[in-house]
Amino acid sequence: MLSLLMVFPHVTGRTLAASNQDPPLTVGIWSNDCLSFIIASNNTSCGNLSAGNTITVQVNVTNAPVGSIDGYDLFLYYDPAVLSATSADQNSTGSSLDQTRVLQGRMVFADIDINLPGRVRLSATCTCYNRSTSGTLAAISFNILVAGVSPISLASGIIPTGQQQSYTELTTPTGFAPATADGYFVNTSGNPGPVASFTFPAKTSQGGTATFDATGSYDPDNSGAPNSGIAHYKWDFGGASALSSSVDSPTYRITLGSVFGNFSVRLTVVDSDNNFEGMQTRLFTISQKPFHDLVAQSVSASPSTANAGDKVTVNAIIRNNGTFTEDFNLNVSYTSPTTRVGTENNQTIDNGASSTFSFTLDTTGLAPGFYTLTATVTVLRSVYNSNGFENITSNNIRTTQLQIAGTSSTGSLLLIAGGAIAGVAALSVLGLLLRRRRQASASR
């Protein structure tokens, strides 16, 4: 039997996102009615695609490891001049055909956002895992507004972090960034619409530049026109606002600045003869510029107000904000005068990690007043950092205040207790002497 769960690459020849399995884990658009990812009026299986009618597309997953998926989060884009999203069903396949929902179980969270024209946002989790490798995640219905062409395009597969605002993700205790495959709608005879295509540098890093080139985009039925029949180029960087621009140009050169991470870059082209859209979405990665940076994140005293003679716990937290593992020394002291509380030497911390160190400060002999506690971290030469260099040194020191209010409450209690015991003893001796004197007088 022909599988109805199969998904295919974008009709424009879009390159699928990288995957560490073959065939790749993929989320894609499919039409059960048309038995294709292309919903076209020349396909009699699709039915009547004239304005005023409705189409339903399925969002499918294929090649998923069994027992690994419990939800998803995705963004889907289309041309709101041609289609209008009216509903999404996350509890069925939206089809009477033999098709299976890949997530079997009770939906514990489901969010549907179809309010923004041209975009659908779906996310869901269930109290289950997938029991098969392929199936339907959701079904989306659209009203057909006019005769025309519309891409039905998913954002690139990304595990969302940082600034990313558009992506396709499969969720588990750890996320999956799947490959994606798009659909296409066309209800005009002999006009497939424009083809969006762009390139960019394979390697880019924070602080550099990158040029996006969409000159390969074209309109098949008007390719001899200027810009191969393309009138407009719209660039969307998936939430990286520092990269976004209203530039309507086939080439777009940007300065990357401090932005880094993975972004779903979407190019929308509009042809010059029919005002039809074509779309391509690709994964764009900006690597973080290598740097060394250890941070004395905090130092604290517990209690922060103590009496002389109390034991105070001093905690220091060190964080590695750099991109390398580092070796370091930590010194904790107080002033004035400068007195060492404790040290930790030749410690190692991975990039992105934090470490907490605790020391005990005996306040015996300290005069009442305020004392400044200081934690200082020093980067060492190591196999990770041959020169012991640090890009940012201003955050290597952190301070806090410790107040000594007076004599230790414990010491005072001991003095009181000692005085009381001495008083009782003195009274006992006096009583004994009086009894002996009375006994001696009676014997006479």
Q: How confident is the model at residue 212 (pLDDT cuts 50, 70, 90)?
A: very high
DSSP E strand boundaries for 19-106 = 26-30, 38-40, 54-62, 71-78, 83-89
Residue 176, domain member (yes or no): yes
Reported as a single tens digit per residue, the pLDDT across 335-362 is 988 999 999 999 999 998 999 999 999 9
Which of 235, 268, 288 delimits the end of a domain? 288
Which of 164, 192, 220 delimits the end of a domain? 192
Handedness of CA 12, 115, 135, 100 (dihedral sign): negative
Q: For a pLDDT cut of 90, what percent of the chain falls above it?
A: 60
Which has more pLDDT, 100 or 114?
A: 114
3-state secondary structure 315-347: EEEEEECCCCCEEEEEEEEEECCCEEEEEEEEE
Q: Please tell me the total count of domains within the chain.
A: 3
Instruction: Locate all alpha helices (DSSP H) within 157-220, ordered by sequence.
Output: none
Pairing of strands 179-181, 209-213: unpaired
Which among 218, 250, 256, 219 has a CA at the least distance from the CA of 237? Answer: 256
Residue 256, domain member (yes or no): yes
Tell me the three state secondary structure of residue 164: coil
72, 174: one domain: yes
Residue 438, domain member (yes or no): no
Residues 6+ apart with CB under 8 A from 228: 215, 217, 218, 219
Could you tell me if 213 and 251 are in contact, meaning their C-beta atoms sit under 8 angstroms apart? Answer: yes
223, 253: one domain: yes
271, 342: one domain: no
305, 403: one domain: yes
CATH number at residue 351: 2.60.40.10
Task: Look at residue 366 and tell me whether its pLDDT is greater than 80.
Answer: yes
167, 246: one domain: no
Mean pLDDT of the chain: 85
DSSP string, 257-294: TT--EEEEEEEEEEETTT--EEEEEEEEEEBPPP---E
Task: Look at residue 392 and tell me whether its pLDDT is greater than 80.
Answer: yes
Task: Look at residue 28 and tell me whether its pLDDT is greater than 90.
Answer: yes
CATH number at residue 49: 2.60.40.680
Task: Look at residue 92 and tell me whether its pLDDT is greater than 50.
Answer: yes
Task: Look at residue 182 and tell me whether its pLDDT is greater than 70.
Answer: yes
Which has more pLDDT, 175 or 178?
A: 178
Q: How confident is the model at residue 412 (pLDDT cuts 50, 70, 90)?
A: very low
**283: its two tokens:** 């994964």
Q: Average pLDDT of 302-314? A: 96
2, 107: one domain: yes
Q: What is the pLDDT of residue 372?
A: 96
Residue 422, domain member (yes or no): no
Pairing of strands 179-181, 26-30: parallel
162, 284: one domain: no
18, 137: one domain: yes
Which has more pLDDT, 73 or 242?
A: 73
Task: Look at residue 432 and tell me whether its pLDDT is greater than 90.
Answer: no
Reported as a single tens digit per residue, the pLDDT across 319-338 is 999 989 999 999 999 998 89
DSSP conformational letter for 132:
S
299, 282: one domain: no
60, 152: one domain: yes
pTM of the model: 0.70
DSSP string, 211-232: EEE-TT-B-TTSTTSGGGGEEE
Residue 425, domain member (yes or no): no
159, 99: one domain: yes
Task: Look at residue 401 and tell me whether its pLDDT is greater than 50.
Answer: yes
Task: Look at residue 306 and tell me whether its pLDDT is greater than 70.
Answer: yes
DSSP string, 241-259: TTT-----SSEEEEE-TT-
Length of the chain: 444
Residue 430: what are its φ and ψ, rounded to 5°? -60, -40
Could you tell me if 278 and 269 are in contact, meaning their C-beta atoms sit under 8 angstroms apart? Answer: yes
Residue 130, domain member (yes or no): yes
Residue 424, domain member (yes or no): no
Separation CA 127–CA 430 (nearest Å): 81
Separation CA 197–CA 249 (nearest Å): 13
Q: What is the pLDDT of residue 145?
A: 98
Which has more pLDDT, 241 or 121?
A: 121
Which of 230, 253, 288 delimits the end of a domain? 288
Task: Look at residue 131 and tell me whether its pLDDT is greater than 80.
Answer: no
**9: its two tokens:** 């690459």
**74: its two tokens:** 């995705």
Separation CA 237–CA 204 (nearest Å): 15
258, 322: one domain: no
Residue 421, domain member (yes or no): no
Q: How confident is the model at residue 440 (pLDDT cuts 50, 70, 90)?
A: low
Which has more pLDDT, 391 or 3?
A: 391
Domain containing 235 equals 193-288
